[in-house]
């Protein structure tokens, strides 16, 4: 089998979690697996809806620092001794495409804001004064918002969104966790056969694609849509939740980890 060279892991609910009383579970098993895989030369990319500052905040919880941060489901940063640096020209193009998109979509974004704040108790969030996302009170409410948005987004070419449970971020339709992973692979010269991807929510679906990662997995706490996608592509739905589930999947994908784990225990 091919060695794993790149891991594309979602953070919340996948690398860490589930949460109990506001505290995220951190899996010792996953920490050991990641140390062993990195020692063998694998690169770790956290592929997340978080912004870069929130990635740093998240990794205060988790002791294995990623080599790459793929943030807000679309931007790409490499960790260097001097801190995070934009990797390749991808971010520049991504930002220009979003600038153009949000200018084209100004009216519809205003309509969406008016609709969601009048009809529901959905909160909006902004970056640099611009509406970029929505937060619902619960999943049922976000289900309804998604139906409304699927229709509204038809009004502007390339306007789309990524959903993570009650959170939603507007985006250009070609940018998502799958396309940013593909761009990273192209930069690094790493193939799908050498890539492992795991996630638990709607925004992970674009990277849970066998054309991008031949090794697909999701933890037991994943939503049904993710479990079905991973299963339908012959990936592994873990029995354990969160990081323990990812470790379980990594040990299956990579039998050499089993012996590395046993040696650690001896
Ligand atoms: Mg998640």
Q: How far is the CA of 227 from the centre of ligand 1 (A)?
A: 13
pLDDT of residue 266: 41
Q: How far is the CA of 260 from the centre of ligand 1 (A)?
A: 28
- Going through the chain in order, the beta strands assigned E by DSSP cover 6-9, 16-20, 23-26, 43-47, 68-71, 75-80, 83-86, 123-127, 130-135, 159-164, 167-172, 195-198, 215-218, 236-237
Calculate ∠ Cα 254-29-234, nearest 5°.
40
Q: Is the pLDDT of residue 77 over 50?
A: yes
More confident residue, 17 or 32: 32
| Maximum C-alpha span of the chain | 63
CB-proximal residues (5 Å) to ion ligand 1? 10, 12-13, 200-201
Q: How far is the CA of 197 from the centre of ligand 1 (A)?
A: 12
pLDDT of residue 265: 46
Q: How far is the CA of 265 from the centre of ligand 1 (A)?
A: 30
Q: How far is the CA of 200 from the centre of ligand 1 (A)?
A: 5
- Percent of all residues in the chain with a pLDDT value above 70, rounded to a whole number: 95
DSSP assignment string, 89-100: SHHHHHHHHHHH
pLDDT of residue 196: 98
3-class DSSP state for residue 105? coil
Average pLDDT over the chain reads 93
- By C-alpha distance, which of 222, 220, 191, 192 is closest to 205? 222
Token representation of residue 213 = 């990662």
pLDDT of residue 259: 54
How does pLDDT run across 169-190, given as a tens digit for each residue? 999 999 999 999 999 999 999 9
Residue 2: pLDDT band (50, 70, 90) is low
Q: How far is the CA of 12 from the centre of ligand 1 (A)?
A: 4
Q: Is the pLDDT of residue 237 over 60?
A: yes
Domain ranges (residues) in the chain: 6-73+176-265, 94-171
What superfamily does domain 6-73+176-265 belong to in CATH? HAD superfamily/HAD-like (3.40.50.1000)
Measure the CA dihedral 174/56/12/17, to 10°.
170
Q: Is the pLDDT of residue 147 over 60?
A: yes
Please state the rounded mean pLDDT for residues 128-133.
Answer: 92
Q: How far is the CA of 11 from the centre of ligand 1 (A)?
A: 6
Q: How far is the CA of 133 from the centre of ligand 1 (A)?
A: 16
How does pLDDT run across 91-115, given as a tens digit for each residue? 999 999 999 999 999 999 999 999 9
Q: How far is the CA of 242 from the centre of ligand 1 (A)?
A: 9
Please state the rounded mean pLDDT for residues 59-88.
Answer: 95
Rounded Cα–Cα distance for residues 97 and 45 (Å)? 23
Q: How far is the CA of 194 from the centre of ligand 1 (A)?
A: 22
Token representation of residue 156 = 């502007």
Q: What share of the chain is helix, strand, coil (3-state, %, to 5)?
A: 45, 25, 30
């Amino acid at each position: 089998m091919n060695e794993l060279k790149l891991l594309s892991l979602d953070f919340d609910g996948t690398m860490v979690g589930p949460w109990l009383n506001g505290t995220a579970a951190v899996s010792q098993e996953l920490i050991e697996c990641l140390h062993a895989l990195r020692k063998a030369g694998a690169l770790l990319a956290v592929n997340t809806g978080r912004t870069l500052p929130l990635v740093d905040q998240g990794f205060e919880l988790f002791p294995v620092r990623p080599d790459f941060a793929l943030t807000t489901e679309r931007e790409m940063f490499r960790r260097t001794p001097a801190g995070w640096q934009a990797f390749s020209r991808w971010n520049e193009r991504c930002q220009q495409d979003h600038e153009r998109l949000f200018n084209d979509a100004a009216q519809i974004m205003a309509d969406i804001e008016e609709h969601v704040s009048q009809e529901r108790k959905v909160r909006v969030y902004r970056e640099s004064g611009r509406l970029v996302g929505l937060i619902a009170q619960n999943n049922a409410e976000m289900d309804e918002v998604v139906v409304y948005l699927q229709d509204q987004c038809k009004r502007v070419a390339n306007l789309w969104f990524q959903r993570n449970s009650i959170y939603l971020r507007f985006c250009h339709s070609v940018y998502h966790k799958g396309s940013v992973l593909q761009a990273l692979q192209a930069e690094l010269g790493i193939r799908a056969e050498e890539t492992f991807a795991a996630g638990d929510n709607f925004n992970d679906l674009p990277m849970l694609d066998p054309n991008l990662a031949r090794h697909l997995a999701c933890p037991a706490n994943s939503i049904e849509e993710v479990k079905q996608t991973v299963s339908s592509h012959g990936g592994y739905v873990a029995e354990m939740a969160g990081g323990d589930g990812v470790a379980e999947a990594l040990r299956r994908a990579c039998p050499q980890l089993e012996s590395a784990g046993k040696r650690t225990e001896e």
